[in-house]
Amino acid sequence: MANENNSKRTVLIVGAGLGGLLLGALLEKAGVPYKIFERASVVKPLGSALSVGPLIVPILQQLGVYEEFLSISKCMTHIAMHNESLKPYKPTDYSLVEEYTGYGYYIVTRPLLYDLILRQVPPEKLHFGKRVNIIADQGEMVVIETSDNMTHEGDILVGADGAHSTVRQHLYKTLKDKGSLPKSDQEDLPFSCTCLVGQTTPLDPEEFPIMKESVCQFQVVLGKGKPYTWIIFSTAQNTLAWMVMRHLSRQTNRAEMVSRLKSSESVEWGCHAAMAMCDETRTFPIPIGDGKLNLGTLFDRTPKDQISKVMLEEKVFKTWCSGRIVLLGDACHKLHPSSGQGAATAMHDAVALANLMYAIPSTSSKDISQILGEYYAERYPAAIEAFKNSQQGARVLGKGPSGIVALYVSTHAPLWLWKSVLEKMLRHRPLVGFLDPIERKGSLAPLVSPSTMKARALFERRWKIQQQQKEKEKQEEKEVREGKHAVVA
C-alpha cells in the first residue's frame, strides 16, 4: 500500500460539491491546510439554476468574487405562478428583500456558480477520481484510504459528499455498533417527489423575447389533474433553466426503489428514464411567448447528456459529528428545493466550520470535540428552520387538500404576513469572521453567529498584534537611522 507522508496534518474534505468547495476556499483564505477528495473524475455541467440572495451574497463579497458573481447572474424580484391554463395567480414579491438586507435575489446557473467557487481552490488541493474506500478515526488522527490505494492523514474529516454520503455511512455504522445511533438516523432518506432538470443552449432573443427582460422571469405552472409542477427561469446567458417535478402518490426511499429495480417492476433512473419523463411531459404548456410553446420546446434545445432525473429527498439527520469526523450540507440535511435554501444551508455550514477551524486553539481531541459541538449547536437549529421552510414551499407546489390550502395562503397572504415570512427566512446571515468585515446593510438585523464572533475576536486580536509589531519595527528603523546620523555628525 502506498503512503503519502504529510509534513503537516490537514483537514480532509470528502466531496467537491458547493459546500465542500466553499469550505476549501475559506480554509485557503484562513491558511488552514486541507485537501478535497471527489470520487467523480470530472465535473459534469448538470443541473438547472438556483436562487442566491442575502444569505450567501455577502459571503461572496468577502471572498472577493461579488462583481464576478453579478456578471453571471440575473436579478429576480418576483415569482409568477400559473394554473395549467396559464392563468396567473398573484405573484410572490421578493423586492422587499433588498430593503431588509441590502441585497437582492439572483438566479445563477448551478454550473457557473460551481465554477466560480471552484476557481477559488488551487488545483493541487483538489483531487478528482478519488473515491474514499476506508475511513479510520484513530483518536489522535483520522486516516482515509482512496481508490488509488493512497492513505491520507488529517486532524478532521469533513463529509461533504452528498445525500448518500460515504462518510456518514461509515460514521453511522460505527455509532450503531456501539449502540449510540438514534433510531431516526438509521432510517433511509425519504422522498415524495422526483425531478427532471436541465438548461437549454443560448436562445435567440428575437425568437424568445423573454430574454430581453432585464430581470429574471421565474415562472411556475401547477398541473391540473396530473401530479406535475414545472418551473422555468431565464438566465444571464440567454438560456432557460427548467425543472419538472413529479409528485409521487406516497412517500418512498432509495432502498425501496432499488428493490423495485431488482424485481424489474420499474426502471426509474438513468438516461432512458429521463428521456421517458421528457416524452411524458413535453406537451405541457409554458407561460412564455404567445402561450403556444411547451416543455418539449425546451427539451429539444437542451443537450440530452445534460438532462438528469433526481430524487428530491427531505431529511435532517440528528447526528452530525463524532470524534474527528463531521458532516456538512446534504450529508446531514437534505432540503426540498422549493424554498431555495438547500445550497445556502450547506454553504452556511462551511462558513461555520471554517470560522471554528480558524479559531481552534489546538488539534487535540478535546479541542476538536469542542468546536464540532459548537458547530452542531449553531447549525442544527438553523437547518431545522430551513427544513420547515422548504416543507412549506413544497406544500405550495404540491397536490391534494394541503396543497390547495398552502397555495391559497401563499397567493392571498396580506403584506404583514408576507413580511413576517421574509423576516424569518432572512435571519440567518452569518459572515466569515477571519476575512475583512463588510458593512451590514438593510433594516433587518441578522441573528448573532457564535462561530463568526469567535473567529472575528481572534482575527482582530491577531491584527492588533500585527499592527503593534509593525509600529515596533518602524520605531527600530527610526532609531537606527537617527543613530547613523549622530555618528556622521
Domain range spanning residue 215? 190-313
Q: What is the pLDDT of residue 455?
A: 96
Structural domain contains residue 422: no
Residue 224 lies in a domain: yes
- The rounded distance, in Å, linking the Cα atoms of 14 and 168 is 11
Question: Please, which residues have CB within 8 angstroms of residue 401's CB and are 6 or more apart in sequence?
Answer: none
d(CA 278, CA 289): 21
140-199 confidence digits (pLDDT tens):
999 999 999 999 999 999 999 999 999 999 999 999 999 999 999 999 888 888 889 999
Is there a domain that residue 307 lies in? yes
pLDDT value of residue 412? 73
For the cut 70, the answer to whether the pLDDT of residue 5 exceeds it is no
**Is residue 212 in a domain?**
yes
pLDDT digits (tens, 9 = 90+) for 436-482: 989 889 999 999 999 999 999 999 999 999 888 888 888 888 878 87
Residue 287 lies in a domain: yes
pTM of the full predicted structure?
0.90
- Indicate whether 198 belongs to any domain: yes
Query: What total number of domains does the chain contain?
Result: 1
All three cell numbers of 128, joined, read 478528482
- How far is Cα of residue 329 from the mean position of the Cα atoms in its chain? 7
Q: What is the mean pLDDT of the chain?
A: 88
SS3 24: helix
Q: Tell me: pLDDT of 7 over 50.
A: no
- Mean local confidence (pLDDT), 408-435: 85
Least-confidence region, from 232-236, 271-275, 277-281: 271-275
CA pair distance 342, 335, nearest whole angstrom:
5
- 36-45, 221-230, 302-311: the lowest-pLDDT one: 36-45
3-state SS, residue 225: coil
Domain assignment present for 473 = no
Note whether residue 24 is domain-resident: no
Q: How far apart are CA 216 and CA 346, in angstroms?
A: 24
- Residue-wise pLDDT tens digits, 320-353: 999 999 999 999 999 887 667 889 999 999 999 9
Model confidence pLDDT, tens digit, residues 368-406: 999 999 999 999 999 999 998 877 766 666 666 566 666
CB 160 within 8 A of CB 23: yes
> How much of the chain is in helix, strand and coil states, percent to nearest 5?
45, 20, 35
